[in-house]
Amino acid sequence: MNEQEYAFPGGFPTPATIEKAYEASDMIRAINCYKHFFPAVSGLAILDGNTAVGIVPNQVFGTMDTRPAQTGLTLNSDTPYGSVVLDLGAGPLLIDIPAGPMLGAILNADQSWVADLGIPGADHGDGGRYLVLPPGAEDLDADDAITVRASTRHVIAGLRAVPVDGDVKQAISLIKQTRVTPFDPDAAWREPEWIDLSSGPQDTSPNHVQGTLEFWKSLVRYITDEGTVEADGVHLAELAVLGIRAGEPLPTDARTVAILTRAAVEADAQMRVQSLADRRTDRVAWNDRQWEWVSLRPENAGFILDGRLDVTARETWFYQAIATSPAMFRRQAGGGSVYWFGARDAAGAYLDGGHGYSLSVPLPVPAKLFWSVTVYDARTRSQIVTRQGNAALRSLFELKHHLDGGEVTLHFGPTAPPGSEDRWVQTVPDAGWFVYFRIYGPGEQAFDGSWKPGDFVPETPSN
């Protein structure tokens, strides 16, 4: 639309101008709201995906040795997961974390950060008790607990345990030592049970609703069931203009449905471009490499830059991934982790599932704990699903016998180069892919430029 499409004879709008202007205005409102609430709708998909496989808040928790069949935005199989979903409608709850190589975080339903747990948390891996207060609850005195406050009714304690020496069973056993109890000793409570989710499929992604009218239906359910926070205020006002309010059905008139449907398609396309073709210069990890920082806001978990919300960093992250924590983003040696994103080869072309590539990784990788390279399908942003049944090359598992020497060469493509099967991840023709390179417990060399992985190099097919 341009200025010539608007007509104001005598200063007043014509009927055509009125409709064009209102339609454009409502589209802008809807697109902005889609982007802002994407983490919340994605968080609701996580809750729904857990419910679908038998997780019950406060009653049934789950462990999972994650594999590609378990769909979720950039999930990985580096460590087993523990899913502890809590309903704070029951009142304040205590979470006891065991001592040991545990990593994790408590998240609100919109995936915003509440607290880190384990090694990156206040207990530093020595075990500790956390008191989680519901929204609006009065402050409580708990001498033996680290008190944190949630902003939504449901929270997720996402737990991970490092499989020391590749011992996944021991790691899962450690996760299951986590205990949840009510702060009120007289509250009705039954000891939660743990179930193993490793063998079956699961989908905690928003893929089934994004870019469709179903997104808005999920959003209404979210703001009705979980509530909202101060940062949502302007966007709630925009939603109200569109007729979307908590506790009320989604508008069904043809005009509004058409706008919401188009806005979902447009906003989702914008977020995909932003996430997979970022134009910001501060995304670059090393000037002579194609690698990018996965998160552009390492200072905090709220995506705050110079006192303001870095909206593009927030949108980019949550379209690719789930959860937020300063320990995941912090660019400094020590505890926590650091991630890099790779979607292009050495010449800058996107990675093609029909071609083969090699990646040289200098050794030793500066990882106090372990490191991995995980392949994701660009369409789903989830681990790639192939006949091989594996999406990662990990220092604790596939690569444990290849860590001597000056470097290790990894391979990616539809077929494995002869003799490299144990250093290869299969890709899918006609499907783009990207990787996350993760280091857990990064050393200083991961940040000062003295260590860096090579770029993806196309391989010449063998005759």
| pLDDT tens-digit map of 242-257 | 999 999 999 999 999 9
Percentage of the chain beyond pLDDT 90 is 89
**Residue 27 confidence (pLDDT):** 98
Judge contact between 353 and 408, C-beta under 8 A.
no
**Residue 333 confidence (pLDDT):** 84
In CATH terms, 54-199 corresponds, of 3.30.565.10, 3.40.50.300, 2.60.40.1610, 3.40.30.10, to 2.60.40.1610
CA 142/CA 181 separation, integer angstroms: 14
**Residue 2 confidence (pLDDT):** 54
Q: What's the distance, CA 90 to chain centroid? A: 27
pLDDT above 70 for 7: yes
Element (H, E) at 312: helix 311-320
Identical fold between 22-46+207-276 and 281-458: no
**Residue 1 confidence (pLDDT):** 44
Give every CB contact of residue 298 below 8 A, 6+ residues apart in sequence. 326, 329, 330, 331
| pLDDT tens-digit map of 382-406 | 999 999 999 999 999 999 999 999 9
For the CA atoms of 331, 336, 342, 343, the dihedral, rounded to the nearest 10 degrees, stands at -110
Compute the average pLDDT of residues 26-31: 98
Q: Which CATH architecture has domain 281-458?
A: Sandwich (2.60)
pLDDT above 80 for 296: no
**Residue 99 confidence (pLDDT):** 98
More confident residue, 241 or 2: 241
pLDDT above 80 for 84: yes
pLDDT above 60 for 462: no
pLDDT above 60 for 292: yes
List the structure tokens of 298: 């390492």
pLDDT above 70 for 4: no
Which fold does the domain 22-46+207-276 belong to in CATH?
Answer: VPA0735-like fold (1.10.3360)
Judge contact between 238 and 25, C-beta under 8 A.
no
Strands 193-196 and 60-64: parallel
| pLDDT tens-digit map of 109-128 | 999 999 999 998 999 999 99
Task: Grade residue 336 by pLDDT with cuts at 50, 70 and 90.
Answer: confident
CA 407/CA 249 separation, integer angstroms: 58
Percentage of the chain beyond pLDDT 70 is 98
Strand segments (E) across 88-231:
93-97, 102-108, 113-118, 128-133, 146-149, 154-161, 179-182, 193-196, 202-203
The residue extents of the domains of the chain are 22-46+207-276, 54-199, 281-458
Task: Grade residue 142 by pLDDT with cuts at 50, 70 and 90.
Answer: confident
List the structure tokens of 341: 């994103």
**Residue 194 confidence (pLDDT):** 98
pLDDT above 80 for 334: no
pLDDT above 50 for 61: yes
Q: Give me the chain's average pLDDT, please.
A: 94
- Report the predicted TM-score, pTM, of the whole model to 2 decimal places: 0.95
Judge contact between 199 and 70, C-beta under 8 A.
no
Judge contact between 303 and 314, C-beta under 8 A.
yes
| pLDDT tens-digit map of 401-439 | 999 999 999 999 999 999 999 999 999 999 999 999 999
CA 400/CA 403 separation, integer angstroms: 6
**Residue 22 confidence (pLDDT):** 96
**Where does 325-367 have alpha helices with state H?**
326-329
**Residue 463 confidence (pLDDT):** 44
**Residue 298 confidence (pLDDT):** 65
